[in-house]
Structure 1
Amino acid sequence: MELKEVVQILEQLAPLSLAESWDNVGLLVEPSTPRPINTILLTNDLTDTVMEEAETLCCDLIISYHPPLFRPIKRLVQRDWKQRLAIRAVEARMAIFSPHTSWDSMRGGVNDWLIGGLGSGHVTVLSQALCGGPPTQRLEFTVKSDEELNTVMEELKACYSAAALQSENSGIHVSFTCSDLALPHFVQTLLGHTVLSQSLTITKLEKHPLPGHGQGRMSILDQPVTVATAVEKMKTHLSLNHLRLALGVGQTLDSLVYTVAVCAGSGASVLNVLQKMTTLDLGEMSHHEVLDAVAKGTTVILSDHSNSERGFLSVFRERLALRLPEAVSVLVSQADRDPLQVV
């Protein structure tokens, strides 16, 4: 199977347009010589030990949830560990793809998987994702005759789109959309027609929300559980022996959890919009963020950053394998683990 075919399937499962604007997602390393994709390795982080595993398995594609190349680079040298990994991938003719926040945002993605660990409930998105594409503007104006309309449209023909015409008693009403980049050209052209420019209006169009997609999740549980039970449920869900717990003011291990909010990884900024919550469940928070939550009476459960994400790899492996030929092996890294351990 060709790399471009696999990438197309990956982007169908989780459109890159769902990723945050600051993120670096998609195909990050592409071999110069095309090679068939026979073995794919899924990992949360691409580290030296994971790269050694990929080389041993003769992988053709590494899907690294966190992008190993994030900030702009000016050179490829051995002293930087991330650049060193990119060089090894190029030399081994391995491709690297990173989905990161597109997996967080998508319906049925990392955050839906994470909140499912506490049981069923009414789940809503905390930070709503919007449809992709560049910002657009709607321009409307009125012309007096078909002849004037034809003249204007001929001038705009090279760049106008989705023009809609509607006849009125006073003339012909014209409405069409354009991108922000094309707007200056449109306006300059239209203002060249004195009569037309008097009726010109410009409206900035908002992007439509994508139901079920976005960052963070909140759930009103169908069956409330105690804090102690919530902790045990999340240990099982995340396959961890230990979690960090900060009881909210007035809360005990026997307090009931009715409403829970989650955000995989470092998601405190997403959860800041919330008022009173029973429990927050996420990878990591700063010391002062935990203090703020606890003071509001909110109990905080922390698993450390990548532990809140890694379990989704097995879920995604099943989804991806169903879309690929049986000859393509999709593996989850056995060397990948959170760098922090309880000792």
Structure 2
Amino acid sequence: MDLKTVLEVLEQFAPLSLAESWDNVGLLVEPGKQRPIKTILLTNDLTADVMDEAEAMACDLIISYHPPLFRSFKRLVQKDWKQQLAIRAIESGIAVFSPHTSWDCVKGGLNDWLIEGVGSGQVSVLSQAVCSSYHKHRLEFTARNEEELNNMLKDIRKTSESETFHYNILRTEQETLQVMLTCPSSGLTPTVQTILGNATASKSLNITQIQQPPLLGCGQGRHAVLDEQISITVALQRMKKHLGLPYLRLALGNQKTFESVVKSVAVCAGSGASVLQGVKADLYITGEMSHHEVLDAVSKGTSVILSEHSNSERGFLTVFKKHLAAHLPDSVTVTISQKDKDPLQII
């Protein structure tokens, strides 16, 4: 498969439009020489060791959960280790792609995988995603006749792409035309200026922003009301097994013990404090929180399980591989990196 086709497949089950506005997702490195994608390497983090591995196996595409290129830079030099990786990828003809928060948000993605570990229940999204296509506005105004309206529409088309707006017309009892025109935010100012240039339309102009529809099941974080209540001890055991870890960090909520009941759980992969803050639940599960963020949760009686940042995101490797296998032909080999590991270890 060529790179363009693979990117289209990735967009199908992890739409980049779901990513947070601050994130840097999608195709990050595109080699000058295009070649068929035969081997894909999955990793949580693209490091020098992972790049060694990719070059040794003649990899064509690296899919790194975390974007190795995040902050902007003005030069591409060997001084910075991330820029070194980008240079190596280009020289080796390896494309680099990152899904990051688009995979966190999507239904069936990383946060759904994380909350599955604690048990079955009624799951909902903590921060609902909405359609991120361009914002639209509805402009309602009156025109005296079709000639006047056509002249306004002609002027609007001079400043806006004709495909970006559409309109409906209703004829009133006074034989005037009631116009409802929809346009994107990018075309709002010139469209309004044109309408205000007409005496009749300017007096009747009303502007309303059209709300984007929610994308059900997609968004940051998850909350579950468990089918069967469990103890904190059982929750710990289940999450250790789910994450494949011998140890987890636990902060017991105020007045809570290891045998306290857990009926509701809120999770957020990675660093989840901003998403979990204020959510009512017996237990929070995330990768990392600051000392004071943990204290805030504990003071409200909520217990906290921390797994370290990338450990809460390890499901990316296995679940993403299954999705790729289901959408790509057998001729494309998908491999999980053997060199990728969390830099923090318990010794």
TM interval, shorter chain, is over 0.9
1:94-116 C-alpha deviation (Å, 9 max, x unpaired): 00000000000100110000001
Using the alignment, how far apart are the partners of 2:67 and 2:281 within structure 1?
32
SS in 2 for 1:219: strand
Corresponding residue number in structure 2 for 1:75? 75
Corresponding residue number in structure 2 for 1:178? 183
1:201 lines up with 2:206 in the alignment: yes
1:239 lines up with 2:244 in the alignment: yes
Task: Quote the offset at 1:35 in angstroms.
Answer: 0.5
1:278 lines up with 2:282 in the alignment: yes
SS in 2 for 1:66: coil
Corresponding residue number in structure 1 for 2:193? 188
Using the alignment, how far apart are the partners of 1:84 and 1:327 within structure 2?
30
Structure 1-normalised TM-score?
Answer: 0.98
SS in 2 for 1:157: helix
Using the alignment, how far apart are the partners of 2:313 and 2:168 within structure 1?
46
5+ residue gaps, structure 1, are none
Residue identity matched to 2:25:
V
Aligned ranges 1:119-158 → 2 under 5 Å: 119-158=119-158
Task: Quote the offset at 1:312 in angstroms.
Answer: 2.6
SS in 1 for 2:32: coil
1:229-267 C-alpha deviation (Å, 9 max, x unpaired): 100100110111110011111111111110000000001
SS in 2 for 1:127: strand
Corresponding residue number in structure 2 for 1:323? 327
Aligned ranges 1:217-256 → 2 under 5 Å: 217-256=222-261
Aligned pair count reads 342
5+ residue gaps, structure 2, are none
Residue identity matched to 1:264:
A
Please identify, of 129-138 and 145-154, the stretch whose mean Cα deviation from structure 2 is larger: 145-154
Residue identity matched to 1:103:
W
Contact 2:65 2:316 in 1 (8 A): no
Task: Quote the offset at 1:79 in angstroms.
Answer: 2.3
Aligned ranges 1:161-176 → 2 under 5 Å: 161-170=165-174, 171-176=176-181
Corresponding residue number in structure 1 for 2:85? 85
CA RMSD of aligned residues (A): 1.0
1:201-230 C-alpha deviation (Å, 9 max, x unpaired): 111222211110000000000011110010
Residue identity matched to 2:24:
N
Task: Quote the offset at 1:168 in angstroms.
Answer: 1.6
1:80-127 C-alpha deviation (Å, 9 max, x unpaired): 111111111111100000000000010011000000101110111011
Residue identity matched to 2:33:
T
The alignment-based identity, stated in percent, is 58
Contact 2:44 2:316 in 1 (8 A): no
SS in 1 for 2:186: coil
Task: Quote the offset at 1:147 in angstroms.
Answer: 2.1
Task: Quote the offset at 1:325 in angstroms.
Answer: 1.2
Corresponding residue number in structure 1 for 2:64? 64
Residue identity matched to 1:288:
H
Using the alignment, how far apart are the partners of 1:297 and 1:137 within structure 2?
44
Using the alignment, how far apart are the partners of 2:68 and 2:241 within structure 1?
29
Corresponding residue number in structure 2 for 1:314? 318
**From 323, 332, 337, the counterpart of 2:336:** 332
1:146-198 C-alpha deviation (Å, 9 max, x unpaired): 22222222222343512111222132111111122211111111111111211
Using the alignment, how far apart are the partners of 2:130 and 2:332 within structure 1?
34
Structure 2-normalised TM-score?
Answer: 0.96
Aligned ranges 1:24-63 → 2 under 5 Å: 24-63=24-63
Residue identity matched to 1:314:
T
Contact 2:253 2:303 in 1 (8 A): yes
